[in-house]
Amino acid sequence: MGVSDHKCLACNAKLKFEPKSQKWVCEYCGTEYTLKDFEDEKGNKKNTNTSKARNNNGYLEYHCPDCGAQIVMDENTAATECVYCGNTAIITERFEGKFEPKRVIPFKTTKEEAIEAFSSYKKGKVFMPKEFLNKNNIEKVSGVYIPFFLYDMIVDGSIDVDAVKEHSWSDSDFKYVKKDYYNAVREGTMAFEKIPTDASQKFSDDIMDSIEPFNYNDLTAFNSSYMSGFLAEKYDLDANDLLARAEGRAKQTTRDILYNDIRGYNSKKVNEFTGDVSINGVPEYVMLPVWMMNVKYEGKIYTMAMNGQTGKFIGNVPISKRKVAIAWFSITAIVALIIGIIGMCI
């Protein structure tokens, strides 16, 4: 199993992918590179250091090609940072064969922007404990390429709904209510393109769903050089494992669209929905960019994430009991004061 990294052709220092310029920049001499610079005319990679890794009970031990330090990683890590020298180590075998991603959306937002988003998130959260997002926590933001499968699907959907229209009027003696009962049916065929499902069990489905959508126009042919400066995982759930989840999303959307198309009633009840799903082509294996931050607070892990392409941000934060108590006390005090004032006026 090989481990590789990418080096500056001029000074051999490490290179990092720069989201703003979409180029690779040498941290030492500042030389900029494009993808073409890493390959010779035959398409072979050049100036890539490699070293052998050893497999030990699912954990991989390897020597950093840069500083020689020994690093241990789990069986799904595909790119990681050497904790000693900060170099990105890319496990080439985890991007090969069935694990070779077809395309990647390179990071468009920078670490600084992610830190800024995390910091300003803090400002808007009145009840969040002050110590939760301290500087030390915020600096642990990492850029991760997360494996996804993208599905193209067609759903033949049909919904059967009982619907009621109500009409009421009154005269001097009575109030009248007239109810008309209808049976409404809607059918439709819907085509879905690129339904994403994250393919790593390490990341919560909820969070990955929440940072959507990605703009798939930015998908570009995969090259491991894009991993420079980031972490990456390979999939541990394959396209078959995830099929039901993708189908579920397509069916739910079809159901919602058909249901919402039945308009003009006072109430609706679904009798039956059927959705026949057929899959179009082979699901595509891609890497999508996400900034992640995990914060441990009072024994619980809170995850925050930012879409590495669009900057969309989501997070769960704890609520400070003390702050809620203070707010409750203030509101109660104001109410008491108002009652007091009203009392005085009467």
Q: List residues near Zn ion by CB under 5 A.
A: 8, 10-11, 13, 26, 28-29, 31, 64, 66-67, 69, 82, 84-85, 87
Q: Which of 318, 316, 314, 294 is nearest to 306 (CA)?
A: 314
Cβ burial 122-133 (10 Å sphere, 16+ → b, else e): beebeebbeebb
* Residue 88 or 224 with smaller CB distance to Zn ion: 88
Beta carbons of 26 and 13 less than 8 angstroms apart:
yes
Q: How far is the CB of 314 from Zn ion (least distance, A)?
A: 33
The two beta strands, 23-26 and 300-307, are unpaired
Beta carbons of 9 and 27 less than 8 angstroms apart:
no
Q: How far is the CB of 62 from Zn ion (least distance, A)?
A: 10
Q: How far is the CB of 35 from Zn ion (least distance, A)?
A: 17
Q: How far is the CB of 32 from Zn ion (least distance, A)?
A: 10
* Residue 66 or 247 with smaller CB distance to Zn ion: 66
d(Cα 161, Cα 158) in Å, to the nearest integer? 10
247 burial via Cβ count (<10 Å: 0-12, 13-18, 19+): buried
* Residue 7 or 251 with smaller CB distance to Zn ion: 7
Q: How far is the CB of 31 from Zn ion (least distance, A)?
A: 5
Beta carbons of 46 and 74 less than 8 angstroms apart:
no
Cα-only R_g, the chain: 27
How far from each other are the two terminal CA atoms of the chain, in whole angstroms?
85
Beta carbons of 234 and 287 less than 8 angstroms apart:
no
* Residue 37 or 116 with smaller CB distance to Zn ion: 37
Beta carbons of 316 and 300 less than 8 angstroms apart:
no
* Residue 29 or 177 with smaller CB distance to Zn ion: 29
* Residue 26 or 146 with smaller CB distance to Zn ion: 26
* Residue 11 or 331 with smaller CB distance to Zn ion: 11
User: What is the amino acid identity at position 205?
Assistant: D
Q: How far is the CB of 319 from Zn ion (least distance, A)?
A: 41
Could you give the count of Cα atoms lying within 13 Å of 171 in the half-sphere of its Cβ? Answer: 1
* Residue 82 or 286 with smaller CB distance to Zn ion: 82
